[in-house]
Amino acid sequence: MVLWEFRLIIEFPPRTTILIPSATIGHCNTPIQDGETRFSMTQYCAGGLMRWVKYGYRSVASIETTQEGPELLKLFDEEKSKRREHGLSLFSKYTELNSDSMMLRKKRHTK
């Protein structure tokens, strides 16, 4: 997998899973060799569904018609940038990959 913004090419062992926010991180796969097979599963959730839930099962249009609408939408916009930063902070840094991997292996073996 190629992660363009991070200038990384990652080779995954068989049966490996990666979850990425594809709207935030540009990515692609590299070609495979003749005779090889690759299987991937992609899941998608529209941002509109997330906003619908976040806005209390209301549309932006219905919020705009309320008295608190402009202030509420401003608050939601401020939270949106914080959520993006928080989501990106969950990714391991290059210097943390080894220690994070070790931590995950320990957790898996203690279950």
| Contact of 55 with 63, CB cutoff 8 Å | yes
User: What pLDDT does 111 receive?
Assistant: 58
Main-chain phi, psi angles of 3, to 5 degrees: -110, 100
Is the residue at 27 inside a domain? yes
Instruction: Flag the least confident range among 53-57, 99-103, 105-109.
Output: 105-109
Is the residue at 41 inside a domain? no
| Contact of 19 with 45, CB cutoff 8 Å | no
**Is 86 found in the same domain as 54?**
yes
User: What pLDDT does 79 receive?
Assistant: 81
**Is 58 found in the same domain as 89?**
yes
- pTM exceeds cut of 0.85: no
What SS3 class is residue 28?
strand
Is the residue at 75 inside a domain? yes
Higher pLDDT among residues 70 and 83, named by residue: 70
| Contact of 38 with 29, CB cutoff 8 Å | yes
Q: For residue 60, what are the domain limits?
A: 47-95
Percent pLDDT > 90 in the chain is 3
**Is 80 found in the same domain as 53?**
yes
Distance CA 20, CA 6 (A): 13
